[in-house]
Amino acid sequence: MFHGLSVLYCMTTSNPKCRSCAPKRVSAVSGGCQWTTQLAFGSPFEGADFIKMDKTCRIRPALSTEAACISALAICSKASWGYPEEQMAVFQRELILIEEHIAPKRTHVLEADGAIVGFYTLVPHDATTLELEHLFIEPTKLRQGYGSQLFRHARQIAQEANFRVLVIQSDPHAVGFYRALGARLTHEIPSSIPGRSIPYFELDLEEPESAEPL
């Protein structure tokens, strides 16, 4: 049922501009994808602008109208791990984003050759701790470096917003990925699936970034 779900790619080239009067510009390069970030002072989550810097990929804020295709991508990516349909029915409810979620969850998408191939969301816990709630890559684009690009982008945004800790409730299949990027496995927590637990990671945002390639 879920393995046959098709992903509807949003081919938009929209790039919302920062209208804040006191922007701060930061440049970064990771995994062959370069971006420039314009982050407004005042609020940690106001007015970010991600400008395409090469011909193949960019990371930008998601549009509210892209909620459906982002949700489909997440479900397809989750299903690619081979979970049974009864578990996927639970995951599907957890992975659907509605239009009203996009901005508050600080959703960002990675486009490659004009198609959305991945996304992440960030949710504050308090003034110092931010959760990487979702990070998913379209199944045919796995193991091509897109996940690490999104992770490093999310890390940069969190640091620029003065958060100190990034926490991740990880899929068990992604343990090696987060460890390689410098996150520390602290414990396991109960899953929404009875009898199942999932890894809980923390990343100290004040420590230097891991240089291990992915």
What CATH number does the domain containing 72 carry? 3.40.630.30
Percent of the chain scoring above 70 in pLDDT: 72
* 120 found inside a domain: yes
Per residue in 87-119, pLDDT tens?
Answer: 999 999 999 999 999 999 999 999 998 899 999
Residue 80: pLDDT band (50, 70, 90) is very high
Residue 211: pLDDT band (50, 70, 90) is low
pTM for this prediction: 0.74
* 171 found inside a domain: yes
Q: Considering its fold, how many domains does the chain have in total?
A: 1
* 24 found inside a domain: no
In angstroms, how far is CA 175 from the centroid of its own chain? Answer: 16
In angstroms, how far is CA 38 from the centroid of its own chain? Answer: 18
Instruction: State the virtual CA torsion across 192, 193, 199, 201 in degrees, nearest 10.
Output: -20
* 157 found inside a domain: yes
What are the b/e assignments for 56-71, b being 16+ CB within 10 Å? Answer: ebbbbbbbeebbebbb
Per-residue pLDDT, 209? 74
Does the structure show a pLDDT above 70 at 19? no
Does the structure show a pLDDT above 70 at 44? no
Query: Which runs of consecutive H residues, i.e. helices, occur in 80-202?
Result: 85-95, 99-102, 146-160, 175-180
Q: What is the rounded end-to-end Cα distance, in angstroms, of the chain? A: 31
Of 30 and 73, which is predicted with more confidence? 73
Does the structure show a pLDDT above 90 at 45? no
* 193 found inside a domain: yes
Per-residue pLDDT, 207? 86
Which residues form the domain of 67? 56-204
Mean pLDDT computed over 119-128: 96
CA distances, 163 to each of 31, 125, 149, 155, 183 (Å): 24, 10, 19, 9, 15
* 22 found inside a domain: no
* 88 found inside a domain: yes
Does the structure show a pLDDT above 70 at 175? yes
* 35 found inside a domain: no
Residue 141: pLDDT band (50, 70, 90) is very high
